[in-house]
Amino acid sequence: MPSPPRIIARGRHLNLLSRQGWEYATRPRIGGIVAVIALSGDGQIVLVEQYRPAVERNVLELPAGLAGDTSQTRGEPLVEAAKRELLEETGYTAARWQRLFDAFTSPGLTDESLTFFLATGLSRSGPGGGDASERITVHTVALHEVDAFIARRCRDGCAVDLKLHAGLRFAERVP
């Protein structure tokens, strides 16, 4: 039986809610969140690295972003958000798109859910680097070297986003 949450606080981008005594954060006014496993024909994966104020560090991630969060993108299909975020963040377009799976990022703390897409047949089509509010570094890394790459970046103070590990499990199974 669904029960409406109680609003504890409204921020500009996040709200703090409580349901059945359980507190959690939510992003209102979005259509979903997409994450992209972008693989080149020669076995490389496209990663992004960006500074995250919440953790005061650079974080290695998959290309990802919010769907339908602006007046220009309201109602956009998730795959269109995935195409837009991949191009904005990395400069790549992809010939083939496949929706893979959904997962909750941290269901004890938020109702945030990610939808993962596999993007293959990559072409460089723009500069990447993110939108006006973002400063993103693109790393194109051979899958068989990705653990060594992550370890090296972590030694330099970078951190890792959970969705990168989750995405790698699927990337490594693509024939």
Nearer to a copy of itself by Cβ, of 94 and 146: the residue is 146
Residues in Cβ contact with 85 at an 8 Å cutoff, skipping those fewer than 6 apart = 34, 36, 63, 64, 65
Q: Which residue has the tokens 């992003």?
A: 27
HSE, CB side, 13 Å, CA atoms: give it for residue 54. Answer: 4
Write each residue from 23 to 42 as x if it is in contact with a copy of itself (CB under 8 A), else as -, in one continuous string.
Answer: xxxxx---------------
* Window 135-174: residues binding a copy of itself (CB under 8 A): 159-166, 168-170, 172
* Dist CA 54 CA 159 (whole Å): 12
Question: Which of 22-30, 79-87, 90-98, 118-126 is the region at the interface with a copy of itself (rule: CB under 8 A)?
Answer: 22-30
CA distances from 33 to 151, 155, 156, 160 (A): 27, 29, 29, 18
Nearer to a copy of itself by Cβ, of 122 and 164: the residue is 164
Please tell me whether residue 82 binds a copy of itself under the rule CB under 8 A.
no
Please tell me whether residue 59 binds a copy of itself under the rule CB under 8 A.
yes
Residues in Cβ contact with 56 at an 8 Å cutoff, skipping those fewer than 6 apart = none
Q: Which residues bind a copy of itself (CB under 8 A)?
A: 2, 8-9, 11-14, 16-27, 52-56, 59, 61, 101-114, 159-166, 168-170, 172
